[in-house]
Structure 1
């Protein structure tokens, strides 16, 4: 049903949602009711904190500019929640809705193509039930893409290149928390593949991989 995704949303304060939208640069039209009874619609331009208060700059479609204290917001209305479903569900919805899915076979073919770029065999060790989820397949692709980016950052100098050459296999499993360790020439990566992936994942990989190489 169309409302199934809404049932995964989590209760949050209007202030937290607005700040999240601003930090993620989501230009989404919202409607606000302030405690003084004022009702406004528009787009967040800027948010700044001064001592114990947080102030918002907001523009309307008529290009009017409003300034108010974030704590004065009593009700936040989001007219197109699908566009920020990941944030509103706190990661229970793992990806933006409406993305083009890939099949398990397409994912496996794509993985084979990436092995030469990673200079290692990729073992995606996920249960069939996990791979049956379209978002998990897309997340798997993003994890490998982040590993490729991390590799490029690691091998920028000779020491990093020499250390990476020790890795012959990358094994990816589904775990509740991000785990990265090395056994022999196998780099083991555990990540919760069915939830929203961490932001700037490639930098997290660089940090954790460089600790164990």
Structure 2
């Protein structure tokens, strides 16, 4: 059903969701009910903490500006939950809904095109059932894209270039935490491929790969 994704949402405080929206820079219209009975709709502009209170600045579609204490929010209404599916599910939904899918064959073709850029063979060590999920295939593409960006930064100097030339194969597996190790000429990447990928994945790869090269 069209609304089945909502069953994966997790209970959270209105304050936590508003903080998440602001940190992710999501300009989505929300509706709030305050403890004094006031009902407002608009977009979060800013959040700031002063001692034990957290204040919110919101704007309405009529360009009015509202200021209130975050703890005064009693009910938060999300008008477009699909656009926040990742954060509202706390990562159980791994990607924004509505993205263009990629088939397993398309993913394999795309991976072959990336191997010359990485100067290594890419091996996906996943069970067939894992790759049957459309979001997992898109996550695989994002992981490899982040690896490409990390590699480009690692080889900017001569020392990094020499170290990277030792890598002949990159093996990507599904693990519970982000892991990077090196065995001979194989760079092993472990990532939670079925859930939302870590933020700043490129920088995390650089940090972890440079430790094992």
Q: Same fold (TM over 0.5)?
A: yes
SS in 1 for 2:197: coil
The aligned counterpart of 2:137 is: 137
Secondary structure (helix, strand or coil) at the match of 1:17 reads: helix
Runs (4+) of structure 1 exceeding 2 A deviation are: none
- Which residue in the other structure is 2:210 paired with? 210
Cα distance in 1, alignment partners of residues 161 and 40 from structure 2: 55
Name the counterpart of 1:177.
177
SS at match of 2:202: helix
TM-score (norm 2): 0.98
After TM superposition, list the pairs within 5 Å mapping 1:145-160 onto structure 2: 145-160=145-160
- Note the 1:95-174 alignment, pairs <5 A: 95-174=95-174
Show CA shifts across 1:11-66 (max 9, x none).
00000000000010100000001111111000000111112211111000000000
Q: CA RMSD in A?
A: 0.7
Tell me the equivalent position of 1:17. Answer: 17
Cα separation, 1, equivalents of 2:70 and 2:11: 18
Q: Quote the residue 2:61 is aligned against.
A: 61
- Extract unaligned runs of 5+ from structure 2: none
Q: Distance in 2 between matches of 1:157 and 1:54?
A: 45
Alignment: residue pair count: 213
Alignment of 1:21-36 (within 5 A): 21-36=21-36
Q: Note the C-alpha offset of 1:84.
A: 0.6
1:130-155 deviation line (CA, Å, top 9, x unaligned): 01000000000000000001111111
Secondary structure of 1:5's counterpart equals: helix
Provide the secondary structure at the position in 2 that maps to 1:138. helix
Please identify, of 99-108 and 159-168, the stretch whose mean Cα deviation from structure 2 is larger: 159-168
Q: Does 1:52 align with 2:76?
A: no
Name the counterpart of 1:86. Answer: 86
Q: 2:3 aligns to what SS in structure 1?
A: helix
Q: With the length of structure 1 as denominator, give the TM-score of the two structures.
A: 0.98
Aligned to 2:43: 43
Tell me how far apart the structure 2 counterparts of residues 180 and 160 of structure 1 sit (CA, whole Å): 17
Whether 1:187 and 2:176 are equivalent positions in the alignment is no
